[in-house]
């Protein structure tokens, strides 16, 4: 391979060399981090006063964990390590209520992230000459722009369609003969059903590969997508706090995702004790970002559950591989690729005075897509008046939820006592989606 983004020396480096790169990288990150108000205090508390206090990979456990709450509590600039005038990009977990998390990038940060995404693309066998239709949302969500910049670096022809408008997506696939698409697995299944309904099926398409990610899915879902379209599908993992997509990606052998260990240090820990777990044991994924100066992030607890494999991969790459994400340690739901906490829904509905005390969320499948129903009890006096008032209230709740969680829910209003009451912890979420 002569590709610019296939770096044999780094991608097939023996473990001791990878660790050496990580130690060098982390020393730099500590220097950057000490410049932020948040880590300035936090690292010093752990007696890390300079990069010289970190000398081998075993020293990692001396460093404190970072959590989503740390990011929220230090919003907006507590983790900013450069002058704001050096920041060229902001991504944020927006579309949520409460305090968002924000990630800043310098130009070098964007370049380093794009290089890693380009490397991921090359590892799948996609190339310059491919026509890349990016169906992931563009905006504060990292799925759109993250792959966009990486694909341009590879030299692919990028079509930045963003998500939605399925009929138009199909037309564009035909018009421009797209060979690679990027989407959530659930959207691809939906896309297939729209193609089937619209007549000539897959005839006239040139598709050969897809990158899928941003939401949990099983091996069977991958096989189904591959079979439906007659293409190869590669799993892609990332999160906005760690730049976005490109943290771990499957190579052409599609046997778990290589974590790019010169860019990210991965650990699996026991979520209860915080102790590191060996390869093969499932626990919480913890990641350190080695390639971003503007917002350094050390030992970030992702709350995703998975395990690592360090067996050699048939592709020759030595970077450890991450299994599929098997679950979460918190109650975050992923609905058609969008992250939603039940508490966000509660916050919205509970500020509406007509709403009673009980509510419940139901998740089902509507074809390939997830369907969210929010059941809300309202005060009985609402039922004695004009029915149009109830409809007005329903629309208002629906609209406020849509604006906040960026998902269009079905809202059903009920009289008090309709929903089950639990004596202990309320069961707010009924998830009828098939388990992965």
Residues near ligand DLL (CB under 6 A): 136, 141-143, 213-216, 235-240, 244-245, 302, 304, 325, 334, 339
How many CA atoms are closer than 13 Å to the CA of 236, on its beta-carbon side? 32
- C-beta separation of 93 from 100 below 8 A: yes
Q: Which is nearer to ligand DLL, 54 or 113 (CB)?
A: 113
Q: Which of 214/411 has CB closer to ligand DLL?
A: 214
Residue 147 Cβ vs ligand DLL, minimum distance, rounded to whole Å: 7
Question: Considering beta carbons, is residue 210 or 339 the nearer one to ligand DLL?
Answer: 339
Measured from the CB atom, the residue of 216 and 356 that comes closer to ligand DLL is 216
For 206-221, b where at least 16 C-beta lie within 10 A, e where not — what string?
Answer: ebbbbbbbbbbbeeeb
Cβ proximity to ligand DLL: between 184 and 358 the closer is 184
Question: What is the nearest approach in angstroms of ligand DLL to the Cβ of residue 382?
Answer: 36
Which uninterrupted H or E stretch holds 430?
strand 429-431
Angle ∠(264,266,272) on CA atoms, nearest 5: 140
In the complex, the smallest distance separating the C-beta of residue 284 from ligand DLL, rounded to whole angstroms, is: 11
- Minimal distance in Å, beta carbon 240 to ligand DLL? 4
> Quick one: 48 or 154, whose CB is closer to ligand DLL?
154
Kindly state the smallest distance separating residue 31's Cβ from ligand DLL, in Å. Answer: 26
CB of 200 to ligand DLL, least distance (A): 30
Query: CB of 308: closest distance to ligand DLL in angstroms?
Result: 15
User: What distance in Å separates the CA atoms of residue 136 and residue 125, rounded to the nearest whole number?
Assistant: 20
Angle, in degrees to the nearest 10, between helices 219-229 and 185-197 = 30
Which residue's beta carbon is nearest to the bound ligand DLL?
213
Taking the C-alpha atoms of residue 340 and residue 337, their distance in angstroms, rounded to an integer, is 9
Could you give the C-alpha distances from 425 to 9, 329, 422, in angstroms and in order?
53, 17, 7
Nearer to ligand DLL, 326 or 422 (CB): 326
Max distance between CA atoms of the chain, in angstroms, equals: 74
Q: Which residue do the tokens 């408008």 mark?
A: 165
Q: How far apart are CA 282 and CA 348, in angstroms?
A: 35
The residue to which tokens 């305090």 are assigned: 99
């Amino acid at each position: 391979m002569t590709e610019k983004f296939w770096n044999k020396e780094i991608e097939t480096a023996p473990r001791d060399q990878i660790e050496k790169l990580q130690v060098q990288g982390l020393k730099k990150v500590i220097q950057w981090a000490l410049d932020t108000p948040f880590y300035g205090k936090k690292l010093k508390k752990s007696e890390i006063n300079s990069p010289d206090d970190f000398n081998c990979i075993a020293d990692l456990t001396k460093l404190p964990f970072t959590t989503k709450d740390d990011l929220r509590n230090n919003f907006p600039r507590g983790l900013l390590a450069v002058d704001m005038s050096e920041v060229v990009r902001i991504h944020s977990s927006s579309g949520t209520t409460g305090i968002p998390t924000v990630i800043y990038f310098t130009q070098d940060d964007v370049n380093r992230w794009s290089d890693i995404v380009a490397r991921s693309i090359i590892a799948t066998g996609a190339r310059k000459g491919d026509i890349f239709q990016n169906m992931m949302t563009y905006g504060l969500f990292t799925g759109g722009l993250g792959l966009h910049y990486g694909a341009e670096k590879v030299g692919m022809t990028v079509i930045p369609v963003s998500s939605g408008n399925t009929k138009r997506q199909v037309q564009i696939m035909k018009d421009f003969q797209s060979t690679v698409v990027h989407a959530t697995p659930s959207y691809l299944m939906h896309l297939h059903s729209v193609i089937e309904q619209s007549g000539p099926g897959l005839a006239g398409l040139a598709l050969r590969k897809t990158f899928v990610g941003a939401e949990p899915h099983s091996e069977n879902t991958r096989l189904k997508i591959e079979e439906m379209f007659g293409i190869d599908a590669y799993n892609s993992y990332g999160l906005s706090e760690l730049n976005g997509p490109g943290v771990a990606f499957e190579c052409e052998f599609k046997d778990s995702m290589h974590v790019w260990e010169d860019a990210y240090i991965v650990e699996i820990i026991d979520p209860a004790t915080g102790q590191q777990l060996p390869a093969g044991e499932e626990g919480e994924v913890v990641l350190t970002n080695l390639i971003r100066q503007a917002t350094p992030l050390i030992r970030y607890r992702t709350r995703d559950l998975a395990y690592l494999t360090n067996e050699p991969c048939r592709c020759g790459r030595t970077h450890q591989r991450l299994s599929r994400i098997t679950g979460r340690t918190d109650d975050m739901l992923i609905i058609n690729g969008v992250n939603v906490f039940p508490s966000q829904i509660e916050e919205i509905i509970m500020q509406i005075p007509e709403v009673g005390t009980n509510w419940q969320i139901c998740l089902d499948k509507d074809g390939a897509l997830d369907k969210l129903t929010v059941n809300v009890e309202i005060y009985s006096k609402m039922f004695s008046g004009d029915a149009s008032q109830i409809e007005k209230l329903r629309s208002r709740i629906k609209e406020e939820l849509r604006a906040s969680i960026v998902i269009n829910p079905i809202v059903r209003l009920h009289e008090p006592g309709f929903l089950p009451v639990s004596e202990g912890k309320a069961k707010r979420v009924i998830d009828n989606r098939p388990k992965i």
